[in-house]
Amino acid sequence: MGFLSWLTRDSDPASIAAREESAKRQEEIVQALRADRVPPSVVRRLQDAASAKRPWIATLTPAELMIARSYGFRPIATVSATCWMSVPEDTSGWMASPANPHFHGWTTALSRLRAEAKAAGANAVIDVKMRSVSIGARDNMDFTLVGTAVKVEGLPPSDEPIIATLPALELIKLLQADIVPTGIVIGAHDVSIPDPRKNKLKILWRENVEYVELSDLMTTARKMANTQMRTNAFEKGRVVLALAHVQFSRILKLEGEGLGPSAYADRARGHVGARYAARHVAIATTIDQGSKKSREDAMKAHSGTVPSHGFTMVVDMHAGKTPLANTTSHHQSYRMNDEEGGA
Amino acid sequence: MTMDLPAHAQERLKGLRTSAHSTGVFTSDFSVNEFLLVRKAGFEPIGLCVGTCVYHVGIQYGSWKKNEELTVLSKAMYHARELAMSRMRAEASAMNADGIVGVKLTIKRLEWDEHLLEFIAIGTGVVHGEGHSGFRAHDGGPFTSDLSGQDFWSLLHSGYRPVEMVMGSCVYHVAHRGMFAAMGTTGQNVELENYTSAMYEAREIAIERMSQEASASKAEGVVGVEIHEGSHGWQTHVIEFFAIGTAVLPLDQEIAPDKIADPIMVLSVND
């Protein structure tokens, strides 16, 4: 991309037509998303896949496909949804849902993914991965979900397809236990405090002491996020799988003036200076233990057409990572959390 | 160029094992487990197949403020991958392979020139143990697949066979936000619609292209699809969406299901 790019851009009719078509498509995408609809170009692809006018596309590995088919799941198409949010560094004071960008971003993406699955005539989306792309711009985050829309043989299309944010093999483990994953719940909390050392110069100089204020700050963020997650789960009338799959936290020192409501409030009280901001995001898979009958009905509907396997539970003695588990890089949106300093 | 193998490559291939030369040496990057499962699936590895292409990526002009596909870069990524893949496939054809399993398609940035990228396709050529030709791709050449040996075995067991690695690429520029637009949302939690729509369009283009490749290869479906995002050292706001998977067809008459041993299905309870 150069300074004089406008001088040299393609000006042949085909390039101009392609740019016009792209602009039209983008406008359709924006209008559709504003109206909570699936973009028309996506609908066309999904309907073609549902009617077998084009090949089905699955994110499943062959082993996952084999097992999924044994449960009567047939892949239809890859579905995906994105909500790209501005995520200011200092959002303290916006901790209540749905204003928190992590909460809003994931729930919006989830809703869009479910709409795509419905457009494909699916009963569920399995193997859903949480993804984020970085384009090098600050203060924003991409909340993307990608998965495989599937139809359960013998069932009509669902009005509200279930979303399983688990690797397909783990989904099968749950199904074996008569438990159906139904979606995700999110808890996110941001909180900040003025620099507590401002009036306590005597501490943290040469001694080994806990930085109590920051410990409390982080504890607050974690507790509030997890409480919010549990509350959301209970509101949905579901049980949360104990093994939440994302627990992301970070702490930042914001030099200069913060922009969140808490920062404004502090300034009103006369405090000017650095602030410490803590953020915690907790995400868990929800499960439904009350739908055993419906699952049995579904199983009955396809029994005899697809072989069902008897599984043996094993402990793999493999040295290092077990090749039987496939969860290592399933979700990568908060992958930097394991690195020093967080993301 | 793709079909004219270098002389040293042909010499190397002559020493390898084929269906007619079963005592020859074979090379592969299979693990022991992969090797055993490929053999269990009724195939024999006959040699490593490699395709390489060092590619100069042309200059791309674009608009700072527009969401748009960067066609020069998209074409470059497609063309270079195609060259690497076709060269690998030519090596497989030369050793009379029925297919290539475990293809790894990688891109390396060459540090001394920012416009150069090296594309490498590498996989293990296999032949059917009983000389069955029904596993070949629709054009009669060897099938290609990025599935591991274990996945290859699983795929056959689930009643499908690999046909062709299919891919879709779209290099896209995500528009920068103007100063006033950025100031208007400073400190606010709002959706950035131009970024969202860019993601939708770019991803849709990539999936659409992969889907077209699958249709062209007469496939029924595509398995193991992954959508990668990468910038390959380009400027900020420029990103490649790359969808890749293995197009598959039902086995039909190609192999009798009872010839494939029943697996013992296990679920690991390891963490």
- Chain A's closest residue to B268, CA to CA, is A314
Q: What is the ipTM of this complex?
A: 0.71
Q: What is the pLDDT of residue B125?
A: 92
Q: How far apart are CA A144 and CA A131, in angstroms?
A: 5
Pairing of strands B143-144, B99-109: parallel
Radius of gyration of chain A (CA): 24
> Reduced to 3 states, what is the DSSP secondary structure of residue B112?
coil
Please, which pLDDT band fits residue A2 given cuts at 50, 70 and 90?
Answer: very low
Residue A186: φ, ψ to 5°: -130, 140
- pTM for this prediction: 0.76
| Mean pLDDT of all residues belonging to chain A | 74
Residues B101, B123: contact at Cβ < 8 Å?
A: yes
Q: What is the pLDDT of residue A132?
A: 86
H or E segment at B253? Answer: none
Share above pLDDT 70 across residues of chain B, in percent, rounded to a whole number: 79
Q: Please give, rounded to a whole number of angstroms, the shortest distance from the CA of A81 to a CA of chain B.
A: 8
Cα A55 from chain centre: 27
A284-343 residues touching B, CB cutoff 8 A: 309-316, 322-325
- Chain A's closest residue to B181, CA to CA, is A86
Q: How far apart are CA A11 and CA A265, in angstroms?
A: 54
Please write the tens of the pLDDT for every residue from A196-208: 766 555 555 566 7
Please write the tens of the pLDDT for every residue from A97-108: 346 788 889 889
- Chain B's closest residue to A60, CA to CA, is B224
Q: How far apart are CA A170 and CA A173, in angstroms?
A: 5
Please, which pLDDT band fits residue A5 given cuts at 50, 70 and 90?
Answer: very low
Pairing of strands A275-288, A246-254: antiparallel
Interface mutation vs chain A, best among B63, B179, B188, B191, most A CBs within 10 Å: B191
Please write the tens of the pLDDT for every residue from B98-142: 999 999 998 887 777 777 888 889 999 999 888 777 888 888 899
Please write the tens of the pLDDT for every residue from A158-174: 888 888 887 777 777 67
**Of A245, A248, A258, residue with least CA distance to A279:** A248
Q: How far apart are CA B74 and CA B170, in angstroms?
A: 5
When comparing pLDDT for A209 and B146, which is higher? B146
- Chain B's closest residue to A313, CA to CA, is B267
Q: What are the tokens at A218?
A: 């982080």
> Reduced to 3 states, what is the DSSP secondary structure of residue A32?
helix
Contact flag B267-A313 (C-beta cutoff 8 Å): yes
A132-161 residues touching B, CB cutoff 8 A: 133, 135-137, 140, 142, 144, 146
Q: What are the tokens at B252?
A: 């039909």
Q: What is the pLDDT of residue A148?
A: 93
Helix ranges (H only) for A86-147 are: 101-119
Among candidates B64, B225, B269 on the partner chain, residue whose Cβ is nearest the Cβ of A58 = B225
Q: How far apart are CA B246 and CA A342, in angstroms?
A: 36
Burial readout A86-103 (b: 16 or more C-beta within 10 A, e: otherwise): bbbbbbbbbbebeebbbb
Q: Please give, rounded to a whole number of angstroms, the shortest distance from the CA of A25 to a CA of chain B.
A: 8
The conformational region for residue B224 under phi > 0 = left, psi -120 to 50 = alpha, else beta, is left
Contact flag A309-B200 (C-beta cutoff 8 Å): no
